[in-house]
Structure 1
Amino acid sequence: MERADTSFPDIAAFVGVAQTGSFTRAAENLATSKSNVGKAVQRLESRLGTKLFQRTTRAVRLTEDGETYLIAAQAALDGLRDAAQALAARKEEPIGRVRLDIPSGFRQLFLPTISELRHRFPQVTLELSMTDRMSDAVGEGWDIVVRAGALPQDSEMTVRKLCNTSLRLYASPDYLARHAPIETPADLVQHDAVIFRGFTGKLRPWSLTENGHLRELAPPPVIVLSDGQAVIDATVIGLGISQLFDKVAQPYVDCGRLVPVLPGVDSPGPPVHALIPLGSRMPAKTRAVLNYLADRLR
């Protein structure tokens, strides 16, 4: 059986004629010519293989097939209008799913506040991934990718800076109670180090500020981890000292699970950026989540 392809403008013309009983009035309502409406109905009848109207000099009436088709056509057009109105509303109000990819170490910074996001935007559904690899926002379908440090040179992305960071050394109170005091950077070589391996495969050295100068320290690690949250967890349970972003560590400091070590040697950390696939206009749902992230990091 040959497939009956139909054109929505042709269906709209048919419905217009059926509702007004006139090719002329239908053409006026559709802002086109009577000839165009007539051709549209003829194309539709040809595709369907049946007559939809009985035409006389005085009236245009639906055939039995036309009455059957009108019910389905009206339902289809009503559904399309409803969908168009829903999409228009989504442009103005935060409605729908937002796919967000953040570094794993940011988990404690964001997860406890998701209820606040839900309260602000109850019609937004969040799909959250936490990973330290450099995700492909376009190829993987992410609406927002949050990353600290170097950014990909990608013309398909819009970049928004969310905040600056500082790098600080941290340890658990238990670890510090069990080990020798740390009074100068030289003391660090006598302590256990929890080291992060970045997505490039390289171990990340500690960056320290001494006498106004930055220097890198690569202490012998007691454990190497490639997951930012695992670095935090290992530090919290007392495996050693780690260097973390200040904003990421702050929730653990606030509850007494981490303590800053040698705060005088803090160094500037990398900025945190949001990567958003390019589009003609950012949807309201994405903008709402992006602004919420900026507020949290600020």
Structure 2
Amino acid sequence: MLSRTAEHLFWMARHTARAEHLARLLEANWQLSMLRPEANDGWLAVLSIAGITDAWRLAHHDVTAREVIAFMSADAANPSSIASSLGFARENARAVRGWASAELWETLNATWLDLRRLIAERAFEHDTQAFFEWIKARSHLVRGVQFAAPVQDEAFDFLRLGSAIERADHMARLAEAHAELFVAHAELFEARAESFVAHAEPFEARAQAFDWHRLNALLNAANAGDAWRRIHRDALDPARAAALLLQCAEWPGSLAASLDEVRRIVVRLRNPQSAPIERLALQLCEEMRHAPLANERPQALRGWLLALIARINELARRLGRDLVRPALPEAVAAAA
């Protein structure tokens, strides 16, 4: 496969996944803001997860739900917006129309055209819930067409690789933005657990041990609500929620599962330059088994996650440089 084709497939999958992640994140925070309209810390977390806090501050004075949703949904000047992500995915699909199926191009193109209409109608303001549901549904459709490949060859692996590394990056950023939620209330929750059971206190009393609504919104933003109910079948608690999002091998959306998928795909796609990538991917998988989730201060967990995000970004950079678009061997380059 031509490296140019591999690059377009890789980024098409990344941008499609990014649009869905943003839609889930914005929808969860919007629902949380309905419960606590006076709190803006959640919108700051959204900007932090997207990595555009500084860009926001240069152009805006206040952080409000209306402005952040518009900026992250429809602003073409924001390269991290949903509109930009789906636009980039469409342009990458256009570049590989000779390889991609007609259904894939038609699905992405129709999604882009319908999105432009919804943005012109400002659907993200008039019917916010329906707008985010539409983004998620179209992302599912696009991903389904992407992965319904007639042959599971290198092209299929590059699509999966793009989705997996984007999912890993998003999950790490999501956890870092809410690190204090996992740790700050964990000891309080555990200390009061026996009292809750012994005195049969109502659920509302349990929820006071930690920010239940914020934790629930976080699981929804990560699309982990159903996974929690299937695995734990119990009321939420911060420690197990952190373990689910970061370490749970049974849930393919976890950070550990995403990094392990990257590692396995890199092994299948290996080339003479990919040995350092394989080592880094393996190191990250090993680090996830020893994540400092218990008995740590929020600052310690946040510092560990920030370092992990930097290493995931380094892994993504090396994937693009040495695997997706590998340099030509010297003999080939000289002949060219």
TM-score bracket for this pair, using the shorter chain length: under 0.3
TM-score by length of 2: 0.22
The TM-score normalised by the length of structure 1 is 0.24
The answer to which structure has the higher helix fraction is: 2
Q: Which has the larger radius of gyration?
A: 1
